[in-house]
Amino acid sequence: MKSKTLQHSHSFPANLEKVNPFRVMTVMHRAAELERQGRQIVHMEVGEPDFSTAKPIVDAAKEALDNGLTQYTAAAGIDELRDCLVQHYLDWYQVELSRERILITPGASGGLVLLANLLLSAGDGILLSDPAYPCVRNFIHLMSAEPQLIPVGLEQNFQPDLQQLNRHKRSNTKGLWLASPSNPTGTIIERERLEQACDWARRERLHVLVDEIYQGLHYVDDMPSVLEIDQSCCVVNSFSKYFGMTGWRLGWIVVPEAFAEKANILAQNLYISAPSIAQYAALAAFTDDAREIFEQRRVAFLERRDYMAVALKELGFRLSDNIQGAFYIYANISRFSQDSEQFCADLLENYGVAITPGSDFGDYQSNLFVRIAFTTSMENLHLGIERLRTALA
Ligand X SMILES: Cc1ncc(COP(=O)(O)O)c(C=O)c1O
Which stretches of the chain bind ligand X, using CB under 6 A?
47, 107-109, 133, 179, 183, 211, 213, 238, 240, 246, 251
Say which amino acid occupies 338.
Q
Q: Is 58 helix (H, G, I), strand (E, B) or coil?
A: helix
Question: How is 370-382 classified by DSSP, letter by letter?
Answer: EEEE--S-HHHHH
In the 8-state DSSP scheme, what is residue 89?
A: H
Nearer to ligand X by C-beta: 336 or 375? 375
Shortest distance (Å) from residue 247 CB to ligand X: 9
Nearer to ligand X by C-beta: 148 or 180? 180
Given strand 356-357, what is the order of strands in its sheet?
Answer: 328-332, 369-373, 356-357
Q: Where are the alpha helices (DSSP H) in 274-366?
A: 276-282, 288-315, 340-351
Shortest distance (Å) from residue 39 CB to ligand X: 26
Nearer to ligand X by C-beta: 190 or 360? 360
Shortest distance (Å) from residue 249 CB to ligand X: 7
Nearer to ligand X by C-beta: 248 or 259? 248
Nearer to ligand X by C-beta: 73 or 182? 182
Nearer to ligand X by C-beta: 242 or 336? 242
Shortest distance (Å) from residue 238 CB to ligand X: 3
Q: Which of 42, 129, 49 is nearest to 344 (CA)?
A: 42
Nearer to ligand X by C-beta: 180 or 380? 180
Shortest distance (Å) from residue 368 CB to ligand X: 21
Say which amino acid occupies 12.
F
Say which amino acid occupies 110.
G
Which are the contacts of 305, defined by CB distance < 8 A and separation ≥ 6?
186, 219, 323, 327, 329, 374
Q: Please state, in angstroms and rounded to a whole number, the distance separating the CA atoms of residues 389 and 26.
A: 24
Contact 143, 306 (CB under 8 A): no
Contact 7, 344 (CB under 8 A): no
Shortest distance (Å) from residue 28 CB to ligand X: 13
Q: Please state, in angstroms and rounded to a whole number, the distance separating the CA atoms of residues 254 and 226.
A: 11
Shortest distance (Å) from residue 155 CB to ligand X: 22
Contact 354, 27 (CB under 8 A): yes
Shortest distance (Å) from residue 203 CB to ligand X: 27
Shortest distance (Å) from residue 200 CB to ligand X: 22
Shortest distance (Å) from residue 240 CB to ligand X: 4
Nearer to ligand X by C-beta: 153 or 247? 247
The H-or-E segment that residue 29 falls in is helix 23-36
Q: Give burial (CB, 10 Å; 0-12/13-18/19+) of 68.
A: exposed
Nearer to ligand X by C-beta: 238 or 359? 238
Q: Please state, in angstroms and rounded to a whole number, the distance separating the CA atoms of residues 297 and 15.
A: 40
Rounded to the nearest 5 percent, the helix, strand and coil shares of the chain are 50, 15, 40
Q: What is the CA radius of gyration of the chain?
A: 21
For ligand X, which residue has the nearest CB? 107
Nearer to ligand X by C-beta: 49 or 125? 49
